[in-house]
Structure 1
Amino acid sequence: MHMNLKDKTLWQRNAAAIGGMVLFAAGINFFIVPASLYNGGVLGISQIIRTLLIQVFPSLASGTDIAGIINFILNVPLFIVAYISIGKSFFSRTLVCLISQTIFLSIFPIPATPLVNDSLTASIMGGLLAGTGIGISLRSGGSSGGMDIVGMFFTKKYKNFSVGKVSLTVNAVVYGICAILFGIPTAVYSIIYSAVSTLMTDKAHTQNINTEVVIYTKEEPEAILDYIVNEFHRDATWWEARGGYTEETTYMIVTILSKYECVHLRRGLKNIDEHAFVVVKEGMHIGGKYEKHL
């Protein structure tokens, strides 16, 4: 039964990761590419290489968009980083994401005429879809590769780092190249797309949001403490208290989890103490030793 549940969870995560890549590819092919805008990071570099190759070899413009294939090739060194520094499960789901991303970028048709009439709308719509897709993939334990891998590496290493910050830094270089090669307007609207996409990524990536969790229970707290330590590999502090109205003995348990972990905590508490009262405060600034679980 345990293995079946584990396999089911694995399939659910892979399905979510692939679904995220569907949104990402839709945002790129339906809005960004028709508006002649560019993604950031490694995919943006791949799109620039694609454009330059088409200028030299016009025949490449027909048929499958080769940007996804170039992106896959450029991601190979980063896969080594993901495997060594972040973890095997992240590596495997990132591989699933990148393969599915390459397939969707190749099969999703690029409209001959843009779906929207202005570049601003295209950049916002593309950013909403693509950023949400990346965030969902990160939440499932994988990523679309590229700067997401670098971002996850630094997020794991530094407490106050977010996945989007690395992307913004690298994108500044990519869009500087776009400004030189394709003009200032292209770079400006691509930057708007990148900003919207980064915002949506950090909002959807709930593992990047710290929460303080306070649990009030009248049962013995050891079972809840064991669950927090064994399930999330987190520490917790508890003490005995007394209710102000009932004057009954109660127990308070305090721990710090990610918003993603907090969802699973609520589910687990139902099996331990369904009457437990839980208070959650998001966006905590944490000092000292605290490892992000990505």
Structure 2
Amino acid sequence: MLTEVKKHLTPKQIRADAEFFFLLNLGLVATAAGIALFKTPNHFAFGGTSGLSIVLATLFPRFNVGAFMWVVNAVLVVLGFIFLGIRSMGWTIYSSFALSFYVSAFEWAVPLRAPLTNDVFLELCYAVILSAVGAAIVFNIGASTGGTDIVAMILNKYTSMPVGRALMVSDLGIVLAGAYLYGPATGLYCILGMILKSTVADSAIEGINLRKVCTVVTSRPEPVRDFIVNELHRSATMEQAQGAYTHEEKWVLVTVLTRGQAQKLRLFVHSLDEHAFITIVNSSEIVGKGFRSI
């Protein structure tokens, strides 16, 4: 059966699966680095399984944060099996245990008894950036980091409670526990980190998906079209138009490019037709063939 499945996989599908697996692990490694190198030494309990594990590791110092993440994630995965079923869990199972493994690996490779620096705010920035960028990479490919995402999936299936509100309440509870254990200063840093993480994650996702929507109005459409298709390896939409003031016949070409491709197109059009009109607009929501699927 496995051999039959492999025969039906095209080289393109294999490359896509390999890219997905690479990006998933890259995001999990970045998240684990933020937890092990910056969150744990500073007791930044932002919420989630990492925040809960930091609190538990303080209450039970015999075990480190990585060990508690294994336990907490295992419990959540079992709950997912019971309430959601194996099929609904998908890559969440892998993400839960892979993140625990990477955190344990960092704790083994870089054991820290104290923060790397004496600048708490600097440590907070790196804790937020690494965790947010890692989560953004994972979410952007349609996966999750596991952990409390399983709780969100269960709540979404069995209750009418908004998932975002439920997760915020649980994260706030972990932050308050951290503030009680580590003092009000650390608690305030945790609240700040929790707010910044969502903002940075959203910005990171937009940055990853950022594209340039280019509109070219020119009287020489063929060279521009050929450049887009043959040199930039993209397509475009063309339509004939008329200038409102001069009443001259023009062509409008619309295409979506990366930042580098948009720069090449701008320089090419400028050298080809000095009277051409170009608008370039940022967009992070491009849906269609060659971009995000519908």
**Alignment TM-score, normalising by the size of structure 1:** 0.61
- Correspondence for 1:289: none
1:60 maps to amino acid:
F
Given that residues 48 and 171 in structure 2 are in contact (C-alpha distance below 8 angstroms), is that contact kept between their aligned partners in structure 1?
yes
Larger radius of gyration: 2
- Correspondence for 2:118: 117
- Correspondence for 1:242: 241
**Could you say if the C-alpha distance between residues 164 and 16 of structure 1 is closer, same or farther in structure 2, counting changes exceeding 3 Å?**
farther
Distance 2:194 2:32 in 1: 15
Distance 1:248 1:25 in 2: 54
Show the 5 A alignment for 1:126-165.
Answer: 126-148=127-149
Matching of residue 180 in structure 1 with residue 180 in structure 2: yes
**Could you say if the C-alpha distance between residues 212 and 194 of structure 1 is closer, same or farther in structure 2, counting changes exceeding 3 Å?**
same
Given that residues 164 and 202 in structure 1 are in contact (C-alpha distance below 8 angstroms), is that contact kept between their aligned partners in structure 2?
no
Question: Which blocks of at least 5 consecutive residues in structure 2 are unaligned?
Answer: 1-7, 157-161, 223-236, 262-268, 270-277, 286-291
Distance 1:195 1:28 in 2: 16
How far is 1:134 from its partner?
Answer: 0.9
1:134 maps to amino acid:
A
Question: Per-residue displacement from partner, 1:207-228 (whole Å, max 9, x unpaired)?
Answer: 9989996878989xxxxxxxxx
- Correspondence for 1:171: 171
Question: Which blocks of at least 5 consecutive residues in structure 1 are unaligned?
Answer: 156-160, 220-237, 254-261, 268-274, 285-291
Distance 1:169 1:214 in 2: 43
* Root mean square deviation of aligned Cα: 4.6
How far is 1:241 from its partner?
Answer: 5.2
Distance 1:95 1:164 in 2: 21
Q: Spell out structure 1 runs of 4+ moving beyond 4 A.
A: 78-84, 148-155, 163-169, 207-219, 238-241, 248-253, 277-281
**Could you say if the C-alpha distance between residues 74 and 154 of structure 1 is closer, same or farther in structure 2, counting changes exceeding 3 Å?**
closer
How far is 1:44 from its partner?
Answer: 1.6
**Could you say if the C-alpha distance between residues 18 and 114 of structure 1 is closer, same or farther in structure 2, counting changes exceeding 3 Å?**
same
How far is 1:149 from its partner?
Answer: 5.5
Matching of residue 191 in structure 1 with residue 191 in structure 2: yes
Matching of residue 60 in structure 1 with residue 63 in structure 2: yes
Question: Per-residue displacement from partner, 1:139-175 (whole Å, max 9, x unpaired)?
Answer: 12211113446678999xxxxx9x9887555422221
2:147 maps to amino acid:
G
Given that residues 202 and 208 in structure 1 are in contact (C-alpha distance below 8 angstroms), is that contact kept between their aligned partners in structure 2?
no
- Correspondence for 2:56: 49
% identical aligned pairs: 23
SS at match of 2:37: helix
SS at match of 2:45: coil
Show the 5 A alignment for 1:1-294.
Answer: 3-52=10-59, 54=60, 58-60=61-63, 65-76=66-77, 77-78=79-80, 91-109=89-107, 110-148=111-149, 168-206=168-206, 242-244=241-243, 247-248=249-250, 280-282=281-283
Aligned length: 236
Distance 2:238 2:24 in 1: 40
How far is 1:45 from its partner?
Answer: 2.1
**Alignment TM-score, normalising by the size of structure 2:** 0.61
2:142 maps to amino acid:
G
1:93 maps to amino acid:
W
